[in-house]
Structure 1
Amino acid sequence: MPSGERSNTTIPTLPSGGSTPSVSTSHTLPDLSKFSIYDQSPDIRLNVKFVQDTSKFWYKPDISREQAISLLRDREPGAFVIRDSHSFRGAYGLAMKVACPPPTAQANKKVGDITSELVRHFLIETSPKGVRLKGCPNEPYFGCLSALVYQHSMTPLALPCKLMIPSKDPNEEALELDTPTDTVAELVKQGAVAQQQVPEEAHACNVLYISSVDMESLTGPQAVAKAISEMVAVNPLPAATTVHFKVSSQGITLTDSQRKVFFRRHYPINTVTYCDIDPQDRKWSKEGGGTAKLFGFVARKQGSTTDNVSHLFAELDPDQPASAIVNFVSKVMRR
């Protein structure tokens, strides 16, 4: 935005060394360092510092509404960015990914349109009292955007869900997909020794993504078997693409770092109804020779309460077998 529109805001330096937008007025705003939250345990104090230091990851003043949608449409629910409002001078726009479209979304919209509907927009107004979500009577005022973000990462208040504070720039996230992680096979090996000690954090591996097949209301092993039968009947067969397959308590996230088929797709764990190897034990012929086991998971179709989609994959690395992957997904679903 032109600098004239930002004349009523400053970006002061915080004690932690980071910076975050704050309202500058003639009134005295609350001193956040005196809040009781800073008198709590070291873990909480560390978390507050973490929030302040991450504003560069979620505060994107110059991006447009459309750029915010593009940045968030394939992210997990709770992902967000805050930008300068281009319509209301001195205000901010909060764009966040949600799990379900708003009630006002038309049921007959195309899938792409529904995906856009999963990015919600909220206006953050500024006043001598501080910053707050506009049009939400139960929302308090905050002394700065970092305080607003931190509070909404603990409780959603008027938002559809809690904010997920990023640890890196969303534009650079795809570049870090090759960072080594515990393999799913290693995780399951740990679980075989001490099942109750399986870590809660996410685990990931690379697999071959083949295709997604509409199943109407069908789920379970029948859905996986039918989807594979329909897939192998296609001539020519779909081309397999290497994707990053991440499993966490929040769901399954697929990332196509080369963007051959898509960029990122997230399936909340409460929408995943089944995951297993092909009941008929069919194999996928790999490009370089050899075969790999086929597996898939069934998830609720985005924007629907009844229709399902079977997402089909094949093993890529012998150290990350399909059996280990589906076993871990099933464990996460049972938690």
Structure 2
Amino acid sequence: MLRQQLTVAHHMGSSTVSPGPHSMGGQSSPSVYFGLSRRGSLSSLAESDLVQTTPKFVKDTSKFWYKPTISREEAIIMLKDKRPGTFVVRDSNSFPGAFGLALKVATVPPNVQTKAGADPASELVRHFLIEPTPKGVRLRGCSNEPVFGSLAALVYQHSITPLALPYKLVLPESDPAGEVSNPESPHSSEVPSSAAALLAQGAACNVLYLNTVDTESLTGPQAVAKAAKVTFSTDPIPKTTVVHFKVSSQGITLTDNNRKLFFRRHYPVTAVTYCGIDPEDRRWTKSNVPGAPTEAKIFGFIARKQGGVSDNACHLFAELDPEQPAFAIVNFVTKVMVGQNKVK
């Protein structure tokens, strides 16, 4: 099914369609997330403020990077003269149902022995197997790699952070088969403009809201640590609620769909000064939400109070879905701030 969806998108190019729940065709997006998801949904973030369990992106670049019929050798020829991070995904010939990821890297990994007489440029194209699982797809042989709900989700997450890959994927803006190599491209060490467009659209997931703590002029990791310490020492513990945590280039919006503590709160991007995981790595163990981790990582973001310059507050959360981990949410928030309001 996954391969069929990609093949349809590959052949349809940029034509507009009305995709189904897992479609990757037309101008709509494959499901892409902070971390992972068991399900794919393509409804726009703007369509509803109801709790969504799957974050979304909006631009499908799979027609540039998904080359189902090319061989391993053709992938090497296509990539060896390109800049590091350039990649293609093809159907695996050796493992039916799996995919081959060919990635151009800057240097040969230290644990890899180059073959005598081999073309040095070809050796910089490394190959990885993406295998199907009951929940989606994952990189084979990488124990620290999570399962992604779709191939596109795997690709886009690795364009934000390399995880187990030796190099972060660079989302293509054109077909690498006909692209002119430009190693000095200004996008080489930055977020590609196509990825920036995805970040600008935003993403969302459910998290457990824990507390908001005044930190006065304090920001950064120290503010998150203070908020966590205050929250853990409060007796009785603060009331918690599941919130829809939406991030976009406009800022962060929290929606308590059960209206247990509040309805909606918005923090403009210019007010958010930091986002990070609790530096003391405390875990939240008091969640009564079914399916939530028994020891959830804690993270928070710091935002200036409305009308204030130095008065800050730390908004504290615990990850709710182990397949949408705190580190990925924090990383996404940080990326959204790039070029707009640098995280300090």
Q: Place the TM-score, normalised by the shorter chain, in its bin.
A: 0.3 to 0.5
Compute the TM-score of the two structures, normalised by the length of structure 2. 0.45
Q: Which has the higher helix share?
A: 1
Larger radius of gyration: 1
Compute the TM-score of the two structures, normalised by the length of structure 1. 0.46
